[in-house]
Amino acid sequence: MKKLYTYIIGALLSLSVTGCNSLFDDAPMNQISEKDVWTNSMLLDEYVNTWYRNMNNGFNNFIFTSSGFGSMSRYFLPWLGDQITISKKDWLNSGYSDMLKGNEKTLTDYAENLWTNDYTQIQYINAFFENSNRISDATLRERINGEAHFFRAYYYYMLWRSFGGVPLIDHTIDPLKNAERTPRASYTEMLDFIVKEADEAARILPVTQSSSEAGRVTRGAALMLKAKAYLWAASEVYQDNSKSYLGFTDNQRQNMLEKAKAAYEDLFALNAYELIPITATTQDGIKNEYRQIFLTKNSQESILEVQHSDDGDYANKFGHRLDRYAAPPSLTGTYCAYTPTHNHVLEYGMRDGAAYDANHPYDNLDYRFYANILYDGSVYKGQTLNMHTTDGVAGTDLQPYGTSTTAGYTLTGYYMGKFVDETQTIDNNDTYASKQNYIIWRLAEAKLDYAEVLFNLGYTEEARAQVNDIRQRVHMDALPTITIDQILNERRVELAFEESTYWDMFRLGTVYQKRNGSTNPLKKITITVTKGTTKYQVSNIDRRASANYVFQLKQYYLPIPWSEVKYQQFDQNPDWNEI
């Protein structure tokens, strides 16, 4: 881990300070001693905040403007799936495009950034455990102890999903004093460690946090992490593997499903979460209330979410620019970074027994369609969106905004409605941009996870009940029977554009099919009105349909940094080459 250690040495002096006070004025960060960290509550809060800030950047993500990543190590994972894409054309010539094409150097650089970020946080956490006895405030020490166990489990879970078995390190390492080596852990060892840490976090953490501590991890978050780990391990993809660090060497599927079932039941037994009800009965009313779920911070449904700044300050705090990035051109949007594909639109079923009408393709769909998707003729911010061409003249939402030569407009025929805030001001001052929290886990996802587990264990009726809870919340018809395909489609509708839909492709073994343009080209819809006659035409998004949309089997696991492979003297993940 020689290269990793160069990032970690001096970690105690690299805390992220976001405010000013006399302590920081009197003691410059490069002069703060390790002792100061463990004896000062403000410094400790800054220390712990790095665990939260690095777990996920939420909506504060970047599109890469050139090949390579530099310091930009995060992106919005659904961009790499088949439900959503970006439409700003110069971004399709960027490092982001290299990710889509499976460029080996770009993926290697990206993997190194992930590896370094996660292990740096693990090193911080290990340092806390070794110094926690210096914290005199017992209540504060116990609170951080619970958070530390949760985040050590969380960061190893993140590494596990991306790399398979990795070195399990539960203490700080200084290569200048002790150049130790650590082998890759097996799948069983990874899972056992993650579960043990999650269990310890659940033992310590409170069921709920006070309003002043909103956003801190809870017992429910720890139990959800444990359940997620078992759900991941239950995948057929990871059974009967020849390499113990890439999966189980025998078949543990049934065992993992049983343990996942118990973990989700422990989560539900807390009685800490409820689905946010929707009381409206009209299409517009249901749309508006469902959309509001994703604008409500730390709601009764939320299990864990990234806390973005309430004032939306993008330049100085932890706001973001989702609304600016998502807005149609007619509403001053310039980036077009969140444009749903027609592939995803086809996942919404009909309601109330209606039949699909090709001449009116947006009538009588699942109510969540109207909340999640902005389409031709929909109303947003009081404006009817025009995404069709009339007698050769492109509508206002098929044209770039203003005079910017790099401004975009939808390449798919849709814009995103989910997550966006109609009340958000979008103007030339992007210092104050958007403030929505980014939800990592919520009760609806836990119930759909549980439904899948139940179905695979043979509890068909119980699985159907869980799915119908989700459907009936949005006034959709209850399913009289259930299949695994219906459960998985319900996931893709309810969890649309959330990162779970991306990781589901890996867990379910569908990523090779869904992430390749040759087998699943991304689709768009073109609407033309000629002499009063409307025509709807579905076709491929040209630049993303095949050559620029490639997934290789080796991408199931990212490459471990080569410096790490050489130093530790263990195997690289299959089929990766040193560059």
Q: Where are the beta strands (DSSP E) in 281-374?
A: 302-306, 339-340, 373-374
Q: What is the mean pLDDT of residues 475-479?
A: 97
Phi, psi of 427 (to 5 degrees): -140, -160
pLDDT interval class at 176 (50, 70, 90) = confident
pLDDT 10s digits, 311-350: 988 888 889 999 988 999 999 888 888 999 999 999 999 9
Confidence of residue 406 (pLDDT cuts 50, 70, 90): low
- The DSSP-derived string for 179-201 is ----PPPPHHHHHHHHHHHHHHH
Eight-state DSSP code of residue 321: -
Q: Of all helices (H) and strands (E), which one includes residue 526?
A: strand 523-530
- Chain CA centroid to CA 265, Å: 24
Assess if CATH 1.25.40.390 describes domain 2-272+552-568.
Answer: yes
Residue 31 has pLDDT above 50, yes or no: no
Q: By the 8 A CB rule, do 146 and 225 touch? A: no
Phi then psi for residue 309, to 5 deg, are -60, 135
What pLDDT, on the 0 to 100 scale, is given for residue 472? 98
Average pLDDT over residues 484-497: 98
Is the predicted pLDDT of residue 77 greater than 80, yes or no? yes
> Residue 72's pLDDT band (boundaries 50, 70, 90)?
very low
- Cα distance between residue 63 and residue 472, in whole Å: 37
pTM of the model: 0.93
* Model confidence pLDDT, tens digit, residues 238-294: 999 999 999 999 999 999 999 999 999 999 999 999 999 999 999 999 999 999 999
The helix (run of H) or strand (run of E) holding residue 393 is strand 393-394
Question: Can you say how many angstroms the Cα of residue 267 is from the centroid of all Cα atoms in its chain?
Answer: 21
Distances (CA, A) of 504 to 221, 236, 390: 19, 12, 40
pLDDT recorded at residue 273: 98
Q: Measured in whole angstroms, how far is the alpha carbon of residue 251 from the centre of its chain?
A: 29
- Euclidean distance between CA atoms 369 and 362, whole angstroms: 9
Q: Across all residues in the chain, what is the average pLDDT?
A: 90
pLDDT band at 68 (very low <50, low <70, confident <90, very high): very low
pLDDT of 526: 97
Give the pLDDT confidence score for residue 335 in this predicted structure: 83
Residue 547's pLDDT is 67
Once rounded to an integer, what is the mean pLDDT over residues 349-370?
Answer: 95
Taking Cα atoms as reference points, which of 430, 400, 417 lies closest to residue 87?
A: 400
pLDDT tens-digit map of 538-559: 999 987 776 688 999 999 999 9
The stretch 94-116 carries a mean pLDDT of: 90
State how far the Cα of 247 lies from the Cα of 118, in Å rounded to an integer.
21
pLDDT category of residue 177 using cuts at 50, 70 and 90: confident
Between helix 219-233 and helix 187-204 the angle, nearest 10°, is 160
Pair 168, 181: CB distance under 8 Å: no
Nearest to 261 by CA among 125, 491, 450, 82: 450
Q: Which residue has the higher pLDDT, 35 or 221?
A: 221
Q: What percentage of the chain has pLDDT greater than the value 90?
A: 77
Comparing 220-234, 428-442, 551-565, which segment has the lowest mean pLDDT? 428-442
Give the three-class secondary structure for 539.
Answer: strand
How many secondary structure helices (H) and strands (E) does the chain include? 21, 12
pLDDT for residue 8: 37
CA dist 197 and 404 (Å) reads 50
Sign of the torsion formed by the C-alpha atoms of 319, 323, 325 and 330 = negative
Q: Binning pLDDT at 50, 70 and 90, where does residue 16 land?
A: very low
Confidence of residue 76 (pLDDT cuts 50, 70, 90): confident
Q: How confident is the model at residue 27 (pLDDT cuts 50, 70, 90)?
A: very low
Helix axes 138-163, 41-53, angle to 10 degrees: 20
φ, ψ of residue 288 to 5 degrees: the values are -65, -40
CB 491 within 8 A of CB 510: no
Query: Would strands 523-530 and 389-390 be described as parallel, antiparallel, or unpaired?
Result: parallel
> Domain extents for the chain?
2-272+552-568, 443-545
Task: Using alpha carbons, list the distances in angstroms from residue 339 to 1, 54, 287.
Answer: 40, 26, 18
Least confident of 63-67, 252-256, 503-507: 63-67
pLDDT-derived band at 299, boundaries 50, 70, 90: very high
Position 414 scores a pLDDT of: 98
Phi/psi of residue 136, each to 5°?
-75, -30
**DSSP assigned state of 169:** -
Is the CB of residue 65 less than 8 Å from the CB of residue 93?
no
